[in-house]
Amino acid sequence: MIGRKGQAPADQPPGEALRLEGVRKVYGAEGNQVMALDGVSLSLPAGSFTAVMGPSGSGKSTLLQCAAGLDRPTEGRVFVDGAELSGDGEAALTKFRRQRIGFVFQQFNLLPTLSVMQNVLLPLRLAGRKADRREARAVLARVGLGERLDHLPAELSGGQQQRVAIARALVTRPRVVFADEPTGALDTRSARDVLSLLQESVRMSGQTIVMVTHDPVAASYADAVLYLADGRIVGHQAAPTAEAVAERMTHLADEVERQRTTAGA
């Protein structure tokens, strides 16, 4: 929820959409603990599209879950648009998410018994806002599904379902949209459509997007890539190309492997 006094960090730059300060996440009980995030600090400007990459187990999903208020950091602070996600209970955190955050999942997570239109209206209803059908229709037209409003998710292709999920994430006009492997379940062409759509919502509407991906081509649609390894940010790359990302990932995987071998020797 909004920090106890709702205050922004003292040195919040203007136009900052997301800020993490010293975020640590430890899973498991004492004696059997995993440090998933080890002191992550970052600041992302509004209207930016950031890809998060790193080897398997490096903490990408944990980072997204903590930044989006779906999970709580063990330590550290998270600010979305200057308001702090704090530990004041599940209900407050849920309210915070509904008002400020959109989420796109790998498996779409649409409600199967609701139509396309009803799926998109749902977050407005949950946020206690007017179920504005005109707004929902406009967002669905933007994602190219203006003619499929009454269809059920099962009557759509995977790529179309993900576009409904994007419309659902955008309809509340959230400060930040978090996407976890949004193209992981899609064929190449549908993936390209979904990525272009995300890119367009940044360029046209100033949306802020943070996307976890394993795919260098997907990452190349972002303005910048953040690299994670062993729960820490180990690199930043602006204006990424797929080739440059793939090369960096290869080096990162080799480096992590080398460090683990040395540590285990």
Ligand X SMILES: Nc1ncnc2c1ncn2[C@@H]1O[C@H](COP(=O)(O)OP(=O)(O)OP(=O)(O)O)[C@@H](O)[C@H]1O
Binding site for ligand X (CB under 6 A): 27-28, 34, 36, 54, 56-62
Cβ distance to ligand X smaller for residue 57 or 158: 57
CA angle 83, 206, 121 (to 5 degrees): 75
> Residue 48's closest CA among 252, 182, 216, 236?
236
Cβ distance to ligand X smaller for residue 34 or 138: 34
Q: How far is the CB of 7 from ligand X (least distance, A)?
A: 29
Q: How far is the CB of 5 from ligand X (least distance, A)?
A: 31
107's tokens: 């498996």
Cβ distance to ligand X smaller for residue 56 or 261: 56
Cβ distance to ligand X smaller for residue 117 or 256: 256
CA atoms within 13 A on the CB side of 98: 15
> Residue 169's closest CA among 221, 126, 203, 204?
126
Q: How far is the CB of 59 from ligand X (least distance, A)?
A: 4
Cβ distance to ligand X smaller for residue 36 or 218: 36
CA angle 65, 144, 70 (to 5 degrees): 10
Q: How far is the CB of 244 from ligand X (least distance, A)?
A: 20
Alpha helices in the chain (DSSP H): 60-67, 90-100, 116-126, 133-142, 158-170, 188-205, 216-219, 242-264
Distance CA 165, CA 119 (A): 8
Cβ distance to ligand X smaller for residue 148 or 227: 227
Q: How far is the CB of 36 from ligand X (least distance, A)?
A: 3
89's tokens: 């209970």
Please state the length of the chain. Answer: 265
Q: How do 224-229 and 49-53 pair as beta strands?
A: parallel
Distance CA 17, CA 154 (A): 35
Q: How far does Cα 164 stand from its chain's mean position? A: 16
Q: How far is the CB of 260 from ligand X (least distance, A)?
A: 12
Cβ distance to ligand X smaller for residue 136 or 186: 186
Dihedral pair phi/psi, residue 225, rounded to 5°: -120, 135
Q: How far is the CB of 23 from ligand X (least distance, A)?
A: 12
